Amino acid sequence: MRFRTKLYTSIGSLLLFITIIVVILMNMLEQSTVKMNVVINELNERIEIASKIKDETSSTTKILSTILNDRGESINSDLLNAWESSNSDLQVTIASLEKKDSQEKSQELISKFKILHESFRNMGNQALMEKKINPDVELSPLFWDNFDLTSQRMIQITELLHGLQEQGLKNELVRSKDTYNWAVENIYIYLVIGLIIGIAFAIWIIKSTSNNLNKVTDVMKQATASDFDSLPRIEITSKGELSEIAVAFNKMANALEKHSRMEKQLKEEAEELSWLNTKIAEIATLYPEVENVETLANMLISKLLPMVGASYGVFYLKEVDKNNQYLTRISSFAASTDVEVKKQFRLGEGLIGQCAEIKRPIHMDQIPEDYVKIGSGLGEASPKTIMILPVLFEDQVLAVIEIASFETLTPLQIKLLEEVNNNLGIKINSILNHMKVEQLLQESQAMTEELQAQSEELQMQQEELRTTNEKLEEQYEATKQRNFEIQEVSAALEEKAQQLLLSSKYKSEFLANMSHELRTPLNSLLILAQILSENGEGNLTPKQQEYIRTIHSSGNDLLNLINDILDLAKVESGKLDVISTEVELNEVRDFLYQQFAHIANQKKVHFSIEMDSELPKTFVTDEQRLQQILKNLLSNAFKFTESGSVLLQIRSVIKNITGKIGKEQQFERMLAFSVVDTGIGIEKDYQKVIFDAFKQADGTTSRKYGGTGLGLSICRELAHLLGGIIEVSSEMGKGSTFTLYLPNHQMNTKRVNISAARTEAAVSLEANYLLDSNDQVLKEDPMIKHGKSILKNKKILIVDDDIRNVYALTIAFENHDMEILVAENGSEALEVLKDHPNTDLILMDIMMPEMDGFEAIKHIRKISRFETIPIIALTAKAMKHSKEECLEAGATDYISKPINLDQLFSLMQVWLFTKEG
């Protein structure tokens, strides 16, 4: 702000401030006067009312006394009216004073007066009544005493009220005078304060102006005494002439500092460039004197490291040995002989090999304490910086230099290393070429001498070559004939391969058909056996029930045999899936304990699971295959253990896997799952045989304990697929120990092909444990609580061409009060649905004549009424992709034959409950 503007602003502000204060004070004085007038008027009004009360009280007393003392025959009506009017006026007046005067003393007197007046009025009215009745009556002296006493007390109270109002007026006048005096004093005080503030404001303006001038003066004095690197600045926040001077000065200071910095920067760059060129020239003077790379490396590393302040260095030269490239250490600086340092690296090995691989420098500033030590006579310490440089010639790595320093390398030092490195490749290439020329010259001289000796031998060999040539011609004809024979054999092998592929296809179809043909009659057998074992009608003897349970158990054994045979076929086909996931060992332990705890209780055999404390929480494998192996091993342990214990141990071990990978000994950390029992044991001669398919121990044991002889064979193959092995140790009469070893490391999820030569016709069946898992989920579902109530009176359509299955299912469903419809194929099922649109659920067999289950499901789903009807697919083929094919065709769910009735009822309850919901 300019001086004139500041001056005018300060004077105007001062006058405006004083004016505002005066106006405010005058307004306050006026308001005080108005309030005082209002209060005085109100007090005068109250005094008048008090006087009026006093007058009315005297008038009322006189009127009543006149009426009562009159001896006429009747009461004067005018006096009587005056009495009533006087009383009414007195009530109105006293009420008015009661509203206006809120003093406690006044309110108390008014209350007393109202009571006395009411008593006086009642007393007068009573006397008037007697007067009206008997004009000549004489009032008692007591009445006149009360009359006089009441009237006197009323008059006294009115006088007190009047006195209170007058005293209030006097007090208010005193307060008004004090208020007026206070207002006048405040006016003087505020005027004085305003003058003080105005003077202070003027002083502040003058002082701020002089301060800014002093700032400008001081900064200019400092500027004359300082260099141009860091000039002071004028800091003035106000606007005006001084602000413009400050801005101009600050701009000038910025320009001078910038010019000074540029000048210093150019000087430093010139000095750095001079230093860089000098050092490069010093290094260049070494090159003409050198004739081999090792000498060059020694001279270079000894000269270069002190220039960049480094304390340690190694020079590696690239060498080629039978198409393998190495970086070999040929020179070092300050390297300790007591420390074993690697002398050779492959390309890509370590940071040295990686630098050569990527052809770019590697610079590290964060070096671990135990990485490398640089020592002297006084001690040793770790470096702070490591720099690894590739020496290139035409984009080819010739050598690598490694440098370590206690201090961080400066950009100038790094630039020196890069410049030297650029020229070094040319020199190394020149030396190598020169050495090759010398070597070739020496070899040429030696070859010349050899040629002279060989020329004589050649003449002798020419004769031998003629003879050899004739023999070669004969051999050529024989070779042509042999090639023709090889082509014929190759064609025959290809034909055999096609036949093998076709045979595998037939084998796959055969196994699938065998699955269907075996499971179909077994389905009705197991269903009817289960129904009979329940003995719903209660007409079977215990012996008959035992027969039925035996039939059902035998059927299940037959089903397990079928599954074992087909599982073995899957393994041998080379297409068994191994899906690796992260497996928690605690979950494996809990699962196995739940599976076998009840078996242990039934057989009264102690069962326990032990886990090492150092085991990892998880490892990667196929969880379902792992459970399959361990369940089989534990089942065998319980089967052959009549008393004692069965123990599962899970440990982490170091396993010698030499036999798996070659002759050299190799060790790998693996997880060991050991099943230890106190059973009958296995003879040593049979311990290898038991893993072969269809082979068991001796005949007596086999007949006593039963079994197919496939379980251990499947376990061994599954263990191989998981990358592990199974070993056994046993002693007759003392029990057996089967140990599964699995690798304890990450594996990739993949499909395992056992042999590339094997065919792709693999039989892939749905594992029974999937159904068991579904069954467990369904049993835990809250919908199962509804039980038979959901199935009762439901209309179920069974579509199956096998009358045995239809018969068995019909009996089972009728026991649950369900209405059954039957169709022998898909076409007949469509007709039945048209006649029974209120069908609740469909059980659809897949393999049927005319229209199979897939086509029938698709046709049913096209009918809008049956888009959401539950359809459970039944199949005895149970191939790997059967479930996916059924669901893609439109089935709601899937179950394989032979059917477990509990599982089937659970599925039906779920989908019928969902449909109703």
Question: What's the pLDDT band for 342 if we cut at 50, 70, 90?
Answer: confident
Q: What pLDDT is attached to residue 795?
A: 93
Q: How far apart are CA 64 and CA 249, in angstroms?
A: 106
CA distance readout (Å), 234 to 204, 214, 219, 533: 20, 10, 6, 108
Say if CB 394 and CB 359 are below 8 A apart: no
885: tokens are 């094919």
Q: What pLDDT is attached to residue 827?
A: 93
- pLDDT of 694-740, one tens digit each? 455 544 444 455 454 567 877 888 888 888 999 999 888 889 999 99
Question: What's the pLDDT band for 880 if we cut at 50, 70, 90?
Answer: low
Q: What pLDDT is attached to residue 858?
A: 93
Q: CB under 8 Å to 436, separation ≥6 — which residues?
A: none
Mean pLDDT within 348-365: 87
- pLDDT of 125-171, one tens digit each? 777 777 777 766 667 777 777 777 877 888 888 888 878 777 777 77
Q: How far apart are CA 86 and CA 120, in angstroms?
A: 13
Question: What's the pLDDT band for 863 if we cut at 50, 70, 90?
Answer: very high
CA atoms in the 13 A half-sphere facing the CB of 88: 6
Q: What pLDDT is attached to residue 772?
A: 37
Higher pLDDT, 708 or 266: 266
Strand bridging mode 795-799 / 841-845: parallel
Q: What pLDDT is attached to residue 837?
A: 92
Which of 811, 829, 809 lies closest to 897 in space, CA to CA?
A: 809
Whether pLDDT at 876 is above 60:
yes
Q: How far apart are CA 824 and CA 75, in angstroms?
A: 131
Q: How far apart are CA 569 and CA 764, in angstroms?
A: 9
Mean pLDDT within 881-890: 83
Does the pTM surpass 0.85? The reply is no
Q: CB under 8 Å to 257, separation ≥6 — which residues?
A: 228, 229, 230, 231
CA 184, 186, 192, 198: dihedral to nearest 10 degrees?
Answer: -120
Question: What's the pLDDT band for 780 if we cut at 50, 70, 90?
Answer: very low
CA atoms in the 13 A half-sphere facing the CB of 259: 9
Q: What pLDDT is attached to residue 451?
A: 76
- pLDDT of 428-441, one tens digit each? 888 888 777 777 88
Q: What pLDDT is attached to residue 871?
A: 94
What does pLDDT average to over the chain?
A: 77
Whether pLDDT at 421 is above 80:
no
Which of 51-55, 107-111, 464-468, 695-699 comes out lowest in average pLDDT? 695-699
Whether pLDDT at 275 is above 90:
no
Question: What's the pLDDT band for 539 if we cut at 50, 70, 90?
Answer: confident
Mean pLDDT within 60-81: 73
Higher pLDDT, 688 or 99: 99
Residue percentage of the chain with pLDDT more than 70: 79
Most confident listed range (471-480, 774-783, 873-882, 903-912): 903-912
Mean pLDDT within 856-872: 92
φ and ψ at residue 298, rounded to 5 degrees: -65, -45
Higher pLDDT, 442 or 508: 442
Higher pLDDT, 810 or 479: 810
Q: What pLDDT is attached to residue 6?
A: 65
The answer, yes or no, to whether the previous bond of 135 is cis (omega within 30 of 0) is no
